[in-house]
Amino acid sequence: MDPVTTRPPDPNSPRAIRWEIAVVLLVTFGLSGLSSILSLIESSLESGALSEQSVAINVPQSTLGPIDFLRQLLSVLRLLAWSGLGLYFLWRSGLGSRAIGFARARWRPDVLHGVGLAALIGLPGLLFYLAAVALDLNVTVLPSTLNDVWWRPITLILSAIANSAAEEVLVVAWLLSRLRALGWSDNRSLVASALLRGSYHLYQGFGAGLGNVVMGLIFGRYYQRTTRLWPLVIAHALIDVVAFVGYSTLRGHLSWLPG
């Protein structure tokens, strides 16, 4: 008797895509968004102004230096795994790295566009953050509270790169592509992607949420028009490296820096 064979489910069927989106978001940034909303509610209910509270992004994970170093690397690995998850589902749907502009960097245009996007987002973003804190719409953000050890700049740079890869692969390339496969318009998909980006930054305050929605709109539209992911990853990594390493280096030397 011949064995019974079944046809594998179509990964691009509407039902499969909906399940894929739900599961991936609940494992990654969707769950982070829900947690950030709860953190914002908690901060808003605390006594005192929102701007008088603080939140740190890169924090020690152990009192033992070697263990802390390894745990920082594990956090980097988790973010890289998230980006790998997005790339896998894109490949499974028929969109390889080349199709999303992530196969090989075109160094001159990709780097130049990445630097330009970083400048477009970074400086206005800093001014917007300072205004949001002054208006009591944001908590005070400490980019790093890691101890002054030899491996601190290494882990901060790796964290910036891994964070940018995870966000841009999942929130831009993967989500926009899967929503398009569901028949969503470019504008509707763009808004959904930007709102997701803003949601998981709400733990920093209303200003951070709004600022990242704007960043999501700019990055998402750039991707929709160019289908090039490298400039977004480069831009995001540059912004985070400057924030993480710059803050750690200049903290205590500039009076307006918190901490």
The answer on pLDDT for 106 being more than 90 is no
Residue type, 114: G
Considering only residues 253 and 165, tell me which one the structure prediction assigns the higher pLDDT: 165
The model's pLDDT over 133-190, given as tens digits with 9 standing for 90+, comes to 999 999 999 999 999 999 999 999 999 999 999 999 999 999 999 999 999 999 999 9
Closest CA to 24 of 85, 87, 97: 85
pLDDT, position 248: 83
pLDDT, position 2: 53
Q: Is 138 helix (H, G, I), strand (E, B) or coil?
A: strand
- Phi then psi for residue 254, to 5 deg, are -115, 125
Are 58 and 142 within 8 A, CB to CB? no
Are 68 and 58 within 8 A, CB to CB? no
C-alpha 236/C-alpha 172 separation (Å) is 12
Q: Is 53 helix (H, G, I), strand (E, B) or coil?
A: coil
Hey, what are 186's tokens?
A: 């470019």
Strand runs (DSSP E) across the chain, as ranges? 54-58, 140-144
Closest CA to 164 of 94, 108, 227, 86: 86
C-alpha 189/C-alpha 185 separation (Å) is 6
C-alpha 49/C-alpha 124 separation (Å) is 24
The answer on pLDDT for 107 being more than 90 is no
Answer yes or no: pTM beyond 0.75. yes
The length of the chain in residues reads 259
C-alpha 158/C-alpha 70 separation (Å) is 13
The model's pLDDT over 61-104, given as tens digits with 9 standing for 90+, comes to 999 999 999 999 999 999 999 999 999 999 999 999 999 999 88
250 pLDDT band, cuts 50/70/90, is: confident
47 pLDDT band, cuts 50/70/90, is: confident
